[in-house]
Amino acid sequence: MESEKMKYVLGIEGSANKIGIAVIDFDGNIISNPRRTYITPPGTGFLPKETADHHRANVIPLLKESLAMANISMKDIRLICYTKGPGMAGPLSVGAIVARTLSLMFDIPIVGVNHCIAHIEMGRLATKLDNPVVLYVSGSNSQVIAFVEGKYRIFGETIDIAVGNCLDRFARILNLSNDPAPGYNIEQMAKKGKKFIPLPYLVKGMDMSYSGLLSYCEDLVYLSPTLSKQIEDEIEASTKKIAVDDLLQKRESPEPNGNGQQTNDVIQDDDDENENQEEDELNRRKRKKRTNIKNKNIKDFDYTKEDLCYSLQETIFCMLTEVTERALSHVGSNSVIIVGGVGCNLRLQEIMQTMLDERKGILGAMDERYCIDNGAMIAYTGLLMHKMGFADSIETSTYTQSFRTDEVDVNWR
């Protein structure tokens, strides 16, 4: 008779700029969990179409890699789980199509998983905390959550943009690298900050707002001639580097003439094309000059990128901690887990730990292996659903950009 450990689950995650495919066994042990990230040039974000192209190019090699790491084949898989939503439509479609295809090819049951709940269940698994208040902070979500009466209930959330989106967009304003992630690079710069700049603190009941805070920080950059000029120069320099790199890549694999040699005409065309591309890229990445700055009381003074990153982090993380503490009091819990990509931030963990120390509480924090989007969290949550009898058909194994955390009946708890 086949044991539980000999049965395996495949999990596919691809809701944003990361594509991950994991293998776990039916006891929930993670066997393999590789992922790949779509990284764009500094000062830019990732768009759905280009991100989906990245996922399509990487999903099959990643599938083979994950199976090889687990030392199994598709014949050993007994369940396929994929991200149903929320997320970006293009990237989500890649995971859903691959999951459906594999399900049909190998006659394997399929389960669509809520991305947010997968983060929570991975947090509970990794931290061994059974009933914590959950702070879910990522590029697309900022929610304070607790389990009540069979569902994960949202006690507070952002009313505009998410924490991760705020950090990512501010990183673009400062022209910071997206490698390995904009939020990570803000965290590293914040460690060098020496001056705290008072910023808008926007907590409204149990909800939070970040768009006004982001606009205020952008105004600080525009109203500092020194800092603004520094960033403009960096944008121009990095844009030229991108254009040169593209040209060198083309010249490494030129189109040959009839004799197998690249002609001078082609080289000249490449140079002209490179100049045009450089100009277009620079125009695209130049920050628009804002004429509607409302914060006229802001004066130029001696602050740096590092000071701004430090001040933004401190303000955002204190807002999150305040709302989380009120949720703890409301549900009578003494433990918190932080999930989602922003949850890797050590300063956020430190501020939350300080609050919990005063309440004699427990913090469950994770590193980038499980905080950041990954296939294992999808596989594990899908397994929990499967063991409670849930299954999708090919017809219902769709995807959706909008899929609320509190829409799912959590019958495995």
Per-residue pLDDT at 284: 47
For 49-60, b/e burial (b = at least 16 CB within 10 A) is eebbebbbebbe
- Whether 311 shows a pLDDT value over 60: the answer reads yes
- Whether 411 shows a pLDDT value over 60: the answer reads yes
Q: How confident is the model at residue 224 (pLDDT cuts 50, 70, 90)?
A: confident
Bigger pLDDT: 63 vs 293: 63
The pTM of this model reads 0.87
Least confident of 30-39, 50-59, 118-127, 247-256: 247-256
Per-residue pLDDT at 266: 43
Q: How confident is the model at residue 175 (pLDDT cuts 50, 70, 90)?
A: very high
- Tell me the mean pLDDT in the region 33-37: 98
- Whether 51 shows a pLDDT value over 50: the answer reads yes
- Separation in Å, CA 308 to CA 203, 220, 321: 20, 9, 20
Q: How confident is the model at residue 222 (pLDDT cuts 50, 70, 90)?
A: confident
What backbone torsions phi and psi does residue 195 show, to the nearest 5 degrees? -125, 125
Q: How confident is the model at residue 285 (pLDDT cuts 50, 70, 90)?
A: very low
- Tell me the mean pLDDT in the region 184-212: 96
Residue 200's contacts (CB-CB under 8 Å, 6 or more residues apart) are 212, 213, 216, 315
Bigger pLDDT: 291 vs 126: 126
Mind listing the pLDDT tens digit for each residue in 318-366?
A: 999 999 999 999 999 999 999 999 999 999 999 999 999 999 999 999 9
The superfamily (CATH) of domain 4-122+372-407 is ATPase, nucleotide binding domain (3.30.420.40)
Q: How confident is the model at residue 301 (pLDDT cuts 50, 70, 90)?
A: low
Mean pLDDT of the chain: 88
Query: Which helix or strand (DSSP H or E) is residue 168 part of?
Result: helix 163-173
Burial tier of 276 (Cβ tally within 10 Å: 0-12, 13-18, 19+): exposed
Per-residue pLDDT at 380: 98
- Whether 77 shows a pLDDT value over 50: the answer reads yes
- Tell me the mean pLDDT in the region 161-170: 96
- Whether 73 shows a pLDDT value over 70: the answer reads yes
Question: What are the tokens at 144?
Answer: 């304070």
- Whether 28 shows a pLDDT value over 50: the answer reads yes
Per-residue pLDDT at 232: 84
- Domain made up of 131-221+300-369: CATH architecture: 2-Layer Sandwich (3.30)
Sheet architecture: strand order including 362-364 = 151-157, 142-148, 133-137, 335-339, 362-364
- Tell me the mean pLDDT in the region 384-390: 97
